[in-house]
Structure 1
Amino acid sequence: MDFLIREIRGDEWERTREIRLAALQDPAAAIAFLDTYEAAVERPDPFWQERAEGASDSGAGSVRQFVAEAPDGHWLGTVTVLVERPSDEVRFGEAALVDQTHIVGVYVRPEARGAGVIDALFRAAVEWSWTLPEPTVERVRLYVHEENARAAAFYRRFGFAPTGGKVSMPGDDGAHELEYAFPRP
């Protein structure tokens, strides 16, 4: 399967919205995302415009969204990377103890799974993390639901390792998200 990995552009808010809504309709969405389709579909256009601009190649630099784009322009998958510093407000999980990035919003369309899309998206996310001039990122982390075995298996295969950290799922104190990290080489 042919595809190109690239950073989104600020004016691609409609495509950003479309792939997010597709992700939230995936059967694994309940254990993969901290958002719902019902909530996301109600968000106004300015929300999506701001989100795309902030995660684009022209954004402020603390968030970057990558997409896998097919030759026909169709987005096959996406991943978002957040810069986290010890002094930052905690978005999810435990506070950062070192300068790090946090991978979120991982999604590959069913028809593109098994074609190397996720590997290429993760390579782009991790490489972007290592090339940041400031801060110097010490590790890349992510959280995965304890029942999301397929995602956890990929993360381990890619080189992420469980840290032992875990947090309760918002709205379900009986379920947990497990922290995985990929240290700077």
Structure 2
Amino acid sequence: MKTLLRPAVSLFVLLTAITGIVYPLAVTGVAKVVFPDAANGSLIVKDGKAIGSRLIGQNFTDPKYFWGRPSATGPMPYNASASGGSNQGPLNPALSDAVKGRIDALKAADPDNKLPIPTDLINASASGLDPHISPEAAAYQVARVARLRQLPPADLKALVSQHTEGRQWGVFGEPRVNVLQLNIALDSLHH
């Protein structure tokens, strides 16, 4: 028995050290050298202070800002430690109520807007952390933000266009707008 136990424990300790310490440190080290921005959280720094990440959405509720996708995380929106969808199916009344509430909030913030509401403004992403909206979702909000900030809508349309990212490598995904970066640029506009 002793002859079997000693090699098993030794192998367990060795593999634990390799896979639990050496490998993660090596991968982290390589990532920090090859992809330093991503390895450090893709942080957005303003005036020497980190104000967010390009990878995690933020909860903008002031109508003077562009709003992002709804978040299904709890206990607060965009909680990175609770990433995940709501897992509510299309027949779940809670999902119907949530979508109706989001539609009502959009209409209350901009009652004159008669455009169809883009689905990414009323449906949460699978992770609940998505920092992007579609260009259509940003365009839907231009009139409201322009009116409340007393800016020409054409200026905001140009700003949205400047912050629209294309498909990754020209092939994957859809065009998208990072809401945090758009709102930072919005705050820097002087009119």
Larger radius of gyration: 2
Higher relative helix content: 2
- TM exceeding 0.5: no
The structure whose residues are more often strand, as a share, is 1
* TM superposition score normalised by structure 1: 0.26
